[in-house]
Amino acid sequence: MNNIIEDTEIIITTKKKNDVKNCEHDRISKFKTQSSLKNYFREIIDKIGVCDSIQSKYPNEFLDFCEVFKRHSDYPEKFIGLTDIKINYNPEFKNQLVVYIIKNNGEIDNVSVLNNCISGKPKDYLKIAMRVSIQPQIDEYKNNNHIRVCELCGEHNRIEIDHHSVKTPFNKLYNDFISINSSQKLPNTFDDTQGHIKCFREIDNNFQEKWIEYHKENAILRMLCRACNGSQPKYKINKLLY
Ligand SMILES: [Zn+2]
């Protein structure tokens, strides 16, 4: 099981390299504390105010938002397919501005920029690219199962697709796949999707295809409501260390 430890180190090292290499937009790294980062985004949101397209009207701020989204606890799943960002008043508390992401399938979702994004940490690029690669399988599952009901509580609202948290949590599939392929060089440079999410480059097609196939064979997907999904136990890497 030493492989796991070594792989983790490799990922950390490649990530550092990437940070240097892919720093074309690194305006938020100058904020050394969470409170200064939070103040910066509070000022941006107040300055922009209600806006239906940050991408076209505030391109620099659009990149800042894409950058801070990387710290969100549901990154990248929540953000895959992002094409634009808008700001509008909270429908319940009318004096509060809310940041929304707009996706290429027309979905609109709110993002807690000033809380979740500020306190979170960015994830490693390899894991993000692996998430992006299997999104078509998640969409396919969603499209093939029209009855949306939570497997655990029977709820019909706010249904999400879960990598079965007990049998095949995403992090387990990720760790197992990496350790099976530990003898080969892992991808360490990436492209960006339209929404500035890391994805695989063409030279890593082989690795990506292998992963997509592995995920198709092993992942057990199910529907859970947001509440049940959020309260599932988190898979811990140290389960693998014995
Ligand atoms: Zn439920």
- Tokens describing residue 6: 């070594």
What is the mean pLDDT of the segment spanning 16-41? Answer: 71
Interval between CA 126 and ligand 1 midpoint (Å): 31
- Tokens describing residue 133: 């690669």
Tokens 């003898």, residue located: 183
Based on its alpha-carbon atoms, the radius of gyration of the chain, rounded to whole angstroms, reads 19
Banded pLDDT at 166 (limits 50, 70, 90): confident
What is the mean pLDDT of the segment spanning 24-48? Answer: 88
Give the global pTM.
Answer: 0.76
For residue range 83-123, list pLDDT tens digits in order. Answer: 999 999 998 888 899 999 999 989 999 999 999 999 888 88
Confirm or reject CATH 3.10.450.40 for domain 31-119, answering yes or no: yes
Interval between CA 147 and ligand 1 midpoint (Å): 14
Three-state SS for 59? Answer: helix
| Distance between CA atoms of residues 78 and 74, nearest Å | 6
Interval between CA 208 and ligand 1 midpoint (Å): 33
Average pLDDT, the chain: 86
Domain boundaries, the chain: 31-119, 125-240
At residue 12, does pLDDT exceed 80?
no
**Residues pairing with 101 in the sheet:** 85, 109
Interval between CA 153 and ligand 1 midpoint (Å): 4
Interval between CA 230 and ligand 1 midpoint (Å): 9
| Distance between CA atoms of residues 208 and 214, nearest Å | 10
| Distance between CA atoms of residues 123 and 15, nearest Å | 9
